Amino acid sequence: MGMTSPSRRTMRAASNSVLLLVTAAFALPLIWLVLASFDTRASLSIKLPDSLSLQNFRDVMTPETAFVPLLNSVYLAGGCAIITVIVAVLAAYPLSRYRMRVNKPFLYGVLFGTCLPITAMMVPVYALFVAFNLIDSVAGTTLFLAATSLPIAIYMTKNFMDSVPVSLEEAAWMDGASMLTTLTRIVIPLMRPGIAVVFIFVFIGAWGNFFVPFVLLLSPDKLPAAVSIFSFFGQYGTVAYGQLAAFSLLYSLPVITLYVFVSRVLGGSSAMAGAVKG
């Protein structure tokens, strides 16, 4: 395959230029975000800042603008991911290790749940939260986020667990270890990377979720960054685009870092795609 025919070289040049064109189009909105965040007089269009300044970041890095909402996001997304992972690991164990009558209907139900359009449900969810007096409850919102991410998390966790060989567990079973001991001492340590992938996957989803906390939470001091950015936009929308961009970048940084970590370190981007490849 050492030789490259002329047609293949033309093909390569054509591919490269088309791809670069598409990349440029995809990059434009992102470039605006970055340039605007360093520009104290940012507009809605891409323009080079007169001088690179960190003033926007300094302005938004106050407790009420950035830190409290970001901390709320940590509580919401972190709580959701912890609950989801624990519940998913518990559920995945019997599904992966025993042949029970409930397995098939349960997994079909789970698969069905992954397909439900959650945004479509927000109106009835709101009504239900009003009825149970859960509106503006961080715990209620966290549990709801956990429930919505649970189907895909169970499916992913079960797939990861299926690839852990049972032979080690068999030895533990022989020694009379209980189900919980086997799970915590043998299975979980063996599938740590898989659990990390599920945790991060759920965390990214909950961190970026705007609609659910937007509908279910009211008090400004409970709102996560996703919603506070939106109200920020509403209040100062016409003037402070630079600050908006700076806050958006601060808020996006954790999920981008986590995504890079998953795809580079855990090699999990294919695992994430694998979870939905069917």
Partner 1 sequence: MSAPTTARQNDRLGREKPSPRPRRPHAATHRSFLRAVPLLPAVILLAVFLLGPVISSFYGSLTDSSLSGASAQDSRFVGLDNYSALFADADFPKSILLTLLFLVASAIVGQNVLGLGLALLMRSSNRVVRSLVGTLVVTAWVLPEIVAAFAAYAFFNDSGTLNNMLGAVGIDGPNWLYTLPMLSVILANVWRGTAFSMLVYAAALQDVPPEITESAEVDGAHGWQRLIFITIPMIRRSISTNLMLTTLQTLSVFTLIFVMTGGGPGTDSSTLPVLAYQEAFQFGQLGFGTAIATIMLLVGAVFSIAYIRVLKPEVD
Rg (CA), the chain: 23
- The first and second tokens of residue 2, run together, are 């050492």
Q: Return the residue of 123, 171, 218, 239 that touches partner 1, per CB under 8 A.
A: 123
Q: Return the residue of 61, 91, 190, 196 that touches partner 1, per CB under 8 A.
A: 91
Give residues 49-78 in contact with partner 1 (rule: CB under 8 A). Answer: none
Largest Cα–Cα separation, the chain? 72
Phi-psi region of 133 (alpha: psi -120 to 50; beta: other; left: phi over 0): left
| SS3 assignment, position 116 | coil
Q: Return the residue of 108, 163, 171, 184 that touches partner 1, per CB under 8 A.
A: 108
Give residues 241-260 in contact with partner 1 (rule: CB under 8 A). Answer: 241, 244-245, 248, 251-252, 255-256, 259
- Are the CB atoms for 233 and 210 separated by under 8 Å? no
- Are the CB atoms for 240 and 44 separated by under 8 Å? no
48 binds partner 1 (CB under 8 A): no
Query: Rounded to the nearest whole angstrom, what is the least distance from the CB of residue 187 to partner 1 in the complex?
Result: 12
6 binds partner 1 (CB under 8 A): no
Q: Return the residue of 16, 163, 181, 235 that touches partner 1, per CB under 8 A.
A: 16
Query: Rounded to the nearest whole angstrom, what is the least distance from the CB of residue 102 to partner 1 in the complex?
Result: 6
- Are the CB atoms for 187 and 164 separated by under 8 Å? yes
- Are the CB atoms for 275 and 152 separated by under 8 Å? yes
88 binds partner 1 (CB under 8 A): yes
Residue with tokens 């966790």: 157
CB under 8 A, 24+ apart: contacts of 50-58: 55/242, 56/242, 56/243, 56/245, 56/246, 57/246, 57/250
Q: Return the residue of 29, 63, 176, 221 that touches partner 1, per CB under 8 A.
A: 29
Site residue total, partner 1 (CB under 8 A)? 103
CB atoms within 10 A of CB 121: 14
- Are the CB atoms for 121 and 215 separated by under 8 Å? no
133 binds partner 1 (CB under 8 A): no
Q: Return the residue of 60, 81, 95, 198 that touches partner 1, per CB under 8 A.
A: 95
Give residues 180-239 in contact with partner 1 (rule: CB under 8 A). Answer: 204, 207-211, 215, 226, 229-230, 233
97 binds partner 1 (CB under 8 A): yes
Q: Return the residue of 2, 6, 63, 117 that touches partner 1, per CB under 8 A.
A: 117
Nearer residue to partner 1 within complex by CB, 63 or 234: 234
| SS3 assignment, position 211 | helix
Query: Rounded to the nearest whole angstrom, what is the least distance from the CB of residue 55 to partner 1 in the complex?
Result: 19
